Amino acid sequence: MAKFEIPSEQWAQVVEKSGGPVVYKKIPVQKPGPDEVLINIKYSGVCHTDLHAMMGDWPLATKLHLVGGHEGAGVIVAKGDLVTDLELGDYAGVKWLNGSCLACSFCMQADEPLCPHALLSGYTVDGSFQQYAIAKAAHVARIPKECDLEAVAPVLCAGITVYKGLKESGARPGQYVAIVGAGGGLGSMAIQYASAMGLHVIAIDGGEEKGKSCRTLGASAYVDFLNTSDLVQEVKNATPDGLGPHAVLLLAVQEKPFQQATEYVRSRGAVVCIGLPAKAYLKAPVFDTVVRMITIKGSYVGNRQDTQEALDFFQRGMIKVPIKTVGLSELQDVYKMMEEGKIVGRYVVDTSR
């Protein structure tokens, strides 16, 4: 078994007050409890949620001081006495769901993201924007040794989330799924997961450049909302019988696309909400929802099995995430670009610099 030298102090990005900014400083390395592991985080993806955690603008309070981050990929360097199925040296990932009670009715049915006692990485417990992070052993992602830790990091939130959304949509191989916000970070992964699952993808986003990248990633059609006179008709026309896609995945961060989805989804189809536009509401005509038997639902991260499946698609080379890597010390700059809407693809921070 590998042996690791664990320092007493480490570099971290710390939110000291709601609204930020993050402070790059040295903090103590924690010791894992009996059911926990200590992961030497090598890389961590940066998710929009991390910005919300720093700003404190969600209706759920964060821990303070807080180390954000929930797409952390690294190596297990210490573990508690109760941890038997993980070894020092194993690759592991810190994801949004850091831990759950494993005893409530949701946990018992593998719906652990709904656990009322869930611990959330980088939100209610310290996350992956540090060199050494603690997580419950039961919940850490088991990352196969063949995976590149830098490239796999965004799978730990973005990948799991879109993959679970596709499962929740009920769409089956050969059917059509519309992905709204397909040109963004989540969208680019959703297109690839959907294609790998045997689904046809109708990508919806704005601008020719995004259209090009969506097609390259595997979308069979692209609908440009900036350049269409009738979005609803165009989406329906992208299916062979003109009756619309079997499912819609809503990844957008604006409210408007949420209202249109029920108009173009196929009868009997499902509209799955994943993106979280601030203060948004979902409105749908009751008549249509009834007589066309439309399902509207939410999908939120994924359970442990979804995690391993999402990683398996990645390991088989079916998911390529466009990433840009910067030092952990530059996290505040990434947040600034996020606020300005300038991020293309996914940012990953390297904790060694």
Binding-site ranges for Zn ion (CB under 5 A): 47, 49, 100-101, 104, 107, 115, 157
Least distance between Zn ion and beta carbon 124 (Å): 14
- Whichever of 115 and 252 has its CB closer to Zn ion, that residue is 115
Residue 47 or residue 219: which is nearer to Zn ion going by CB?
47
Rg (CA), the chain: 20
H runs (alpha helix) in the chain? 48-55, 105-108, 149-152, 158-169, 185-196, 208-217, 231-237, 256-264, 286-291, 304-315, 331-339
Buried b (16+ CB within 10 A) or exposed e, 38-69: bbbbbbbbbbbbbbbbbebeeeeebbeebbbb
In angstroms, give the least distance from the CB of 232 to Zn ion.
30
* Residue with smaller CB distance to Zn ion, 107 or 180: 107
- Closest C-alpha to 249, from 341, 307, 186, 336: 186
Output the furthest CA–CA distance in the chain (Å, rounded): 64
In the complex, the smallest distance separating the C-beta of residue 345 from Zn ion, rounded to whole angstroms, is 15
Q: Which is nearer to Zn ion, 179 or 186 (CB)?
A: 186
CB of 154 to Zn ion, least distance (A): 9
Find the shortest distance in angstroms from Cβ 114 to Zn ion.
8
β-bridge mates for residue 28, sequence order: 9
Which residue has tokens 């990844």?
A: 251
Closer residue to Zn ion in complex, CB, 104/276: 104
Q: Which residue has the tokens 């991020």?
A: 343
First to last CA, the chain: 28
Nearer to Zn ion among residue 139 and residue 236 (C-beta): 139
What amino acid occupies position 1?
M
State the DSSP string of 270-326.
EEEE----TT------HHHHHHTT-EEEE--S--HHHHHHHHHHHHTT-----EEEE
CA distance 39 to 132: 5
| Minimum gap (Å) between residue 50 Cβ and Zn ion | 7
Residue 112 or 234 having the CB closest to Zn ion: 112
